[in-house]
Amino acid sequence: MTERPRRIAAIDLGSNSFHMALAEVDQHGSKTYHREKRKVRLAAGLNRAQQLDHASIERALQALAVFGQILEDFEPDEVRAVGTYTFRTASNIDLLTQAAYQHLPYQIEVLSGTEEARLIYQGISHDQHLEDLTLVIDIGGGSTELVIGRGHHPVLLHSCNMGCVSLTERFFPGGVITEAGFDQAILFSEQQLEAIRVRYINLGWQGCIGSSGTIKALAACAEAMGLSNGELNSDILKTIKSELIKAGTAQDITLPGINEDRTPVICGGLAVLIAAFDLLHIDQLLFSSAALREGLLCESRERMQQQDIRQNSVKQLSRRFSCDTLQADRVENTALEIFNAVSESWHFDSEDYRKLLSWACQLHEVGFQIHHIGSHKHAAYIVQQSALAGFTAEQQSTLAFILLNQRKSLKIDQLPRLVCLQQQSVFRLILILRLSIRLNQFRQSETHHSFQVSADAKGLNLVFQPLWLKRQQLFSADLLAESEQFAPLGINLTYRFLPPGT
């Protein structure tokens, strides 16, 4: 009997627009049934202190309420909702995410810039055959992503903090369009791109593809004006720029192909693209309708097939820093044995907790290559600063925090902002990791199944088999130190050693 396709909703909460794609996914691919788009212009609500104003939050909640109503009828098996530039930038984003749950009762993952770029590339590479090295440019509301890749594999990833909304607000205030405003916006964009120019030009590419609203509108405009069949080049972009300057204000733009939803922000997006063409010496760009949400659908299908790219990222990092994989496996076996025993009592209701623990075990010695004394600090730094494909910003920061606290005193003051994960659950993962490392500190093989674990809301209890008696004095001191560390966090640790013959 053929298993029915899984219903997936992919939601891209961008800085200009919110998008949702509803699809059915199986091992052969995905079939999209419905797309929904709402103009929100979230980035326009950011002030100089990087705080969202009330009006932009309300616009976002109204859009999410519509999405939530549609999802009730669609009844998806899985929902992936991701936030991009404004979600990772706004200092008061919690006001939105907490209120959003009333309308969209699903976790919102906040993507890093490089992770956003990777998912965009995945969406395009599964939509088009990229046999040669290809440059992909995606201009969003608050950020611009640039990727060079071949096939389904990105080689260079970069995200710039500039987009069609943010540049329009800054250089075309009140919708007034001037040549001076364009010059300033293009110069600013070139300054942001300067840091990657040499690396990207040295690698090179054979084709260039653009995605998302700005490039879609410009390609449609070029075709409607009879300038091309939809492809863009430097001359076409400068022609459109001249026409926009003639219009004088955003309200008076009447260029064909640019609808009224896009006219308020088209100047900022065009300035970014002109800068990219000039600085990177781009000859021609073609438009692709695939983007971030298609990347989300591709990744959902891969995870359904047990091909989680995050596991590959962890393996690559482990190999790069020559981790002892046998010891990592010992620690992981112990940790998962404890996790399985306590998961129900401790309400580990998300599979991400098990995965975070597993990844922490595999990477707990990643800092040893730098210096063993401060290895926990080095491990946290390496994980936090690495480009870990598949990880959201919260997952990566939490993994780094767990590794930072794998030994010595707890550094609770460095806990990252948590949205999808629970603080107490993260503390409990840290305890499990610390115990597992201690129980395997002599790199012995008899640890597995040599103790029993139980847990309740108040804490964890360990009962050790007689084979531990020869180490009872040492482990009693270790476990007492752990219990003193975690008691202030509301986690009690108790233990006892069974006598011989038990």
- CATH number of the domain enclosing 359: 1.10.3210.10
Whole-number Cα distances in Å, 140 to 171, 181, 270, 300: 16, 20, 11, 23
Question: Which residue, chain included where needed, has tokens 């989300």?
Answer: 296
Read off the pLDDT of residues 276-327 as tens digits, 9 standing for 90 and up: 999 999 999 999 999 999 999 888 777 766 677 888 899 999 999 999 999 9
pLDDT at 445 over 80: no
pLDDT of residue 160: 95
pLDDT at 192 over 60: yes
pLDDT at 53 over 80: yes
pLDDT at 129 over 90: no
- Asked if residue 317 is part of any domain, the answer here is no
pLDDT at 411 over 60: yes
pLDDT at 43 over 70: yes
β-pairing verdict for 29-39 and 451-456: unpaired
- Asked if residue 307 is part of any domain, the answer here is no
Range of the domain at 423: 326-497
- Asked if residue 319 is part of any domain, the answer here is no
When pLDDT is averaged across residues 241-266 and rounded to a whole number, the result is 95
- Nearest residue to 34 via CA among 17, 68, 9: 9
When pLDDT is averaged across residues 188-200 and rounded to a whole number, the result is 96
Q: Return the bridge partners of 249, or none.
A: 176
If pLDDT is split at 50, 70 and 90, which confidence band does 446 have? low
pLDDT of residue 244: 97
pLDDT of residue 477: 84
Indicate if 371 and 259 belong to the same structural domain: no
pLDDT at 449 over 70: no
pLDDT at 469 over 80: no
**CATH code where residue 191 lies:** 3.30.420.150
pLDDT at 147 over 90: yes
- Which residues lie closer than 8 Å to 73 by C-beta, 6 or more apart? none
If pLDDT is split at 50, 70 and 90, which confidence band does 3 have? low
Q: Which amino acid is at 98?
A: Q
pTM of the model: 0.79
- Nearest residue to 52 via CA among 107, 81, 15, 20: 15
Q: CB of 43 within 8 A of CB of 114? A: no
Indicate if 135 and 101 belong to the same structural domain: no
pLDDT at 1 over 60: no
Indicate if 139 and 283 belong to the same structural domain: yes
pLDDT of residue 501: 67
Indicate if 426 and 333 belong to the same structural domain: yes
pLDDT of residue 300: 79
Read off the pLDDT of residues 16-35 as tens digits, 9 standing for 90 and up: 999 999 998 776 667 888 99
If pLDDT is split at 50, 70 and 90, which confidence band does 180 have? very high
pLDDT at 227 over 90: yes
Indicate if 279 and 134 belong to the same structural domain: yes
- Asked if residue 148 is part of any domain, the answer here is yes
Q: In this predicted structure, which of 21-30, 239-248, 306-315, 338-347 has the lowest mean pLDDT?
A: 21-30
What whole-number percentage of the chain has pLDDT above 90? Answer: 74
- Asked if residue 309 is part of any domain, the answer here is no
pLDDT of residue 199: 96
Q: What is the side-by-side order of every strand in the sheet holding 108-110?
A: 29-39, 17-26, 6-13, 78-83, 108-110
Query: Mean pLDDT score of the chain, rounded to an integer?
Result: 91
Indicate if 460 and 394 belong to the same structural domain: yes
Neighbours of 225 (CB within 10 A): 15
Indicate if 179 and 270 belong to the same structural domain: yes
- Asked if residue 1 is part of any domain, the answer here is no
pLDDT at 393 over 90: no
β-pairing verdict for 459-464 and 207-211: unpaired
Indicate if 66 and 162 belong to the same structural domain: no
Largest CA distance in the chain: 93
CA dihedral 403, 408, 409, 412 (to 10 degrees): 0
Kind and range of the H or E run holding 424: helix 423-439
- Asked if residue 331 is part of any domain, the answer here is yes
Whole-number Cα distances in Å, 358 to 126, 220, 299, 336, 423: 30, 48, 20, 7, 18
Single out the residue in 244, 270, 302 at which a domain terminates: 302
If pLDDT is split at 50, 70 and 90, which confidence band does 64 have? very high
Indicate if 387 and 274 belong to the same structural domain: no
Please classify residue 353 by burial: count the beta carbons closer than 10 Å to its beta carbon, then call 0-12 exposed, 13-18 middle and 19+ buried. Answer: buried
Indicate if 331 and 446 belong to the same structural domain: yes
The stretches of 91-141 forming alpha helices (DSSP H) are 93-100, 113-127
When pLDDT is averaged across residues 446-452 and rounded to a whole number, the result is 68
User: What are the φ/ψ torsions at residue 228 (nearest 5 degrees)?
Assistant: -165, -175
Indicate if 332 and 280 belong to the same structural domain: no
- Asked if residue 59 is part of any domain, the answer here is yes
Q: In this predicted structure, which of 125-139, 306-320, 393-407, 422-436 has the lowest mean pLDDT?
A: 306-320
**CATH code where residue 74 lies:** 3.30.420.40
Indicate if 386 and 469 belong to the same structural domain: yes
Domain count for the chain: 3
When pLDDT is averaged across residues 458-476 and rounded to a whole number, the result is 82
pLDDT of residue 85: 94
- Residue 103, helix vs strand vs coil: coil
Single out the residue in 235, 265, 289 at which a domain terminates: 289
When pLDDT is averaged across residues 231-260 and rounded to a whole number, the result is 95
Whole-number Cα distances in Å, 445 to 181, 248, 397, 440, 468: 68, 75, 32, 8, 13
What whole-number percentage of the chain has pLDDT above 70? Answer: 96
pLDDT of residue 28: 67
pLDDT at 488 over 80: yes
Cα–Cα distance for residue pair 425/418, rounded to 1 Å? 11
